[in-house]
Structure 1
Amino acid sequence: MKTMISLLKREFWEHTGMFLWTPLSVAAAMICVFTMPFLFGQHLISAHVLDRVGRMRDDTQRVGDALASIYMLSSGPLLIAMAGIIFFYCLACLHDDRRDRSILFWKSLPVSDFQTVLSKLLVACLVVPLIFLTIATAMSFCMLMILSIAFSTQEVFIFKDLLANGKLYLTPLQIAGILPVYILWALPSLCWLMLVSSWARSKVFLWAVGIPLLVVFLIGMLKLLIYQDADMQWFVDLILGRSIGSLVPGAWIRFESIPLNAYFPLSKEDSGFERIFMISWHTLTSLQLWLGVLLAACMFYMTVRLRRWREAA
């Protein structure tokens, strides 16, 4: 356990800029962009909008409930950036130390290849999402407070109703509760990228993206040659989606063909994120999910073996 903790700390120290300063910079930029209209763009806000805000004075409880239910939606761009960070980290995590030959130093330590690869996988699927979720929650709360202050300038005081609303505290927990689902759906992409990172000697990005694209292209050409009218969209989703696109949070919506209206609350009393939580966990009954996990386990085993054989050769 101590060895694994040390390996995780090593990965964080080596990629502090990617794992910590990048999400902090994105969050700060989003807060600044969100704040500017309230500070310098009063002339951009129409009288109609101000009139609608003014009519909220007598219904602050409903306004507070609505904001507490949806304020975490502002974290969407940050979570998309998280997928990009994880993508490029997995591509480089086992390739860079072979390129600069630092792998010779790390292999001199009493750490097995299995532990090394597992630590990098844990960083990609657990440590990085937790960091981004924490920063996203703090950013969304700051933006909510800024909006509440802006409302108070129009004599719409919602702080009391907002802070007393349980959804304000429950929504981040519901999003964090989807993390195990995200990890399981993302495992094929994570292990594929790490497999390419341990195998390719150069042009890692081209190999990781080019091979799935080439397979889809060859299947499409084969379909044209044999004059088949079968729908190949499922195959494109299987190859491209599970090998690359699984890193995007909520990708299971596409894989399971879940209609978007299923995520919206049926009544005003329902929480949108509560339905997202329940539907996301329901996808654990999907055969596609567990076949992907099985394939990811095979690719993880191949990654560990390749890391050993590459250097032995």
Structure 2
Amino acid sequence: MKAFFALVHRELLEHRGAFLIAPLALIGILFSMLVLAYVTGRLNFELAGMARPLPIRVFEIGFLGFAVAWWLYLLGVLFFYCADGFAADKRNNSMLFWKSMPQSDLKILLAKFGAATTLFPGLVYAAALACGVLAYILTLIMVSATGGNLGVFMSGAFMSYLSIAGGILVALAASILWFAPFLAWVGALSTAVGRWSVPLAVLVPALAVAIENMYVRGPSPEGGWIWSYLTYRLDFPVDREGYLQAWFLSGARFDAYRFSLDLIDRMDWVQVLIGLAFAFAAIFVASEYRRRTIDN
């Protein structure tokens, strides 16, 4: 296990730019912009002709907005990490060094996949929590500038922060489970073709869809069975007229428990298990390819 954690730590050292330095830099820029706007008096919370929203509502929407932005950042960066990280050993000539420890190709690839599904999402989750503090400070300044009750807001915002943080954690874990096969797919391709795995990860399914539609005529759904399945798997079921929409329209406080139950109920857990099985099968095949190409 020590070797496995060492491999995961190596992934952090090699890719800390995307998952540690860049989030810290972005958070620093946001906080700097907030301080600069406050010092120069650029913050204006007057809403001409509009009803003033409740401070808790402003804070929750702001926090969730930051969380969604970081979620999109994470998915995009993880895709490119898997396309690059799974082939990095071959490119920087360190593969033979790690195999001499000795460490199996399967353990090395599992460590990379483990970093992509646990460590790196955890770092981005921490960045989202930091932006929640930023949303809290902004709302606190708004309450102070508009003559609101600071005590009531501060006590209510603390509970809202904990609730949203819990909801974000559940959504993050569910999305990693849901998109795991796509990460494993592009990572497995990269062991054979390197960075060309990025276009090939899209091109191969596109060719499969085209072949199905050209040669397999019949009562298939629009676009074919493959297209329908892929679009279904790419559509994360976080809110299909579910709790988030009801919460946004109702004006009630965010409830992490209800949000989590709604998300868990909407997840197709059979597909999650199929996706995880595919992910581990792809990693195993990729590890065998690495082992055989090096040995030969």
TM-score by length of 1: 0.80
**Aligned partner (choices 255, 260, 272) of residue 289 of structure 1:** 272
- Structure 2 Cα separation of the partners of residues 20 and 202 of structure 1: 22
> Which AA in structure 2 matches 1:174?
G
Q: Which residue does 1:259 correspond to in 2?
A: 240
The C-alpha deviation readout for 1:186-240, integer Å capped at 9, x for no partner, is 22112111210112256232222221222222223346xx475732376325336
Give matches, 1:143-154, under 5 Å. Answer: 143-154=135-146
- Contact 1:35–1:146, Cα closer than 8 Å, also in 2: no
**How far off its partner does 1:89 sit?**
0.9
**How far off its partner does 1:22 sit?**
1.4
The question of 1:98 aligning with 2:82 is answered: no
Q: Which residue does 1:162 correspond to in 2?
A: 154
> Which AA in structure 2 matches 1:10?
R
Q: Which residue does 2:291 correspond to in 1?
A: 308
- Contact 1:82–1:132, Cα closer than 8 Å, also in 2: yes
Structure 1 residues 19 and 299: CA distance shift in structure 2, 3 A: same
- Contact 1:91–1:204, Cα closer than 8 Å, also in 2: yes
- Structure 2 Cα separation of the partners of residues 125 and 302 of structure 1: 19
The question of 1:87 aligning with 2:87 is answered: no
**How far off its partner does 1:296 sit?**
1.8
> Which AA in structure 2 matches 1:86?
L
Structure 1 residues 76 and 201: CA distance shift in structure 2, 3 A: closer
- Contact 2:212–2:224, Cα closer than 8 Å, also in 1: no
CA RMSD of aligned residues (A): 3.0
Give matches, 1:65-144, under 5 Å. Answer: 65-67=56-58, 69-73=60-64, 74-144=66-136
- Structure 2 Cα separation of the partners of residues 237 and 172 of structure 1: 33
The C-alpha deviation readout for 1:5-46, integer Å capped at 9, x for no partner, is 211111111111121011222333444566776666859876
- Contact 1:65–1:161, Cα closer than 8 Å, also in 2: yes
Q: Percent identical across equivalent pairs?
A: 22
- Structure 1 Cα separation of the partners of residues 134 and 120 of structure 2: 21
The question of 1:175 aligning with 2:158 is answered: no
> Which AA in structure 2 matches 1:294?
A
- Structure 2 Cα separation of the partners of residues 270 and 46 of structure 1: 23
- Contact 2:60–2:254, Cα closer than 8 Å, also in 1: yes
- Structure 1 Cα separation of the partners of residues 230 and 210 of structure 2: 11
- Structure 2 Cα separation of the partners of residues 3 and 77 of structure 1: 34
- Structure 1 Cα separation of the partners of residues 195 and 154 of structure 2: 53
The C-alpha deviation readout for 1:148-168, integer Å capped at 9, x for no partner, is 213312222435433345222
TM-score by length of 2: 0.84
> Which AA in structure 2 matches 1:277?
S
Q: Which residue does 1:11 correspond to in 2?
A: 11
The C-alpha deviation readout for 1:56-105, integer Å capped at 9, x for no partner, is 7xxxxxx2442454342122212211111111110111212212322122
- Structure 1 Cα separation of the partners of residues 35 and 208 of structure 2: 46
Deviates more, 1:177-186 or 1:207-216: 177-186
Number of equivalent positions? 292
Q: Which residue does 1:59 correspond to in 2?
A: none
The question of 1:231 aligning with 2:214 is answered: no
**How far off its partner does 1:262 sit?**
4.0
- Contact 2:242–2:262, Cα closer than 8 Å, also in 1: no
Q: Which residue does 2:199 correspond to in 1?
A: 206
Partner SS, residue 107 of structure 2 = helix
Give matches, 1:38-77, under 5 Å. Answer: 42=42, 48=48, 52-53=51-52, 63-67=54-58, 69-73=60-64, 74-77=66-69
- Structure 1 Cα separation of the partners of residues 285 and 58 of structure 2: 47
- Contact 1:263–1:272, Cα closer than 8 Å, also in 2: no
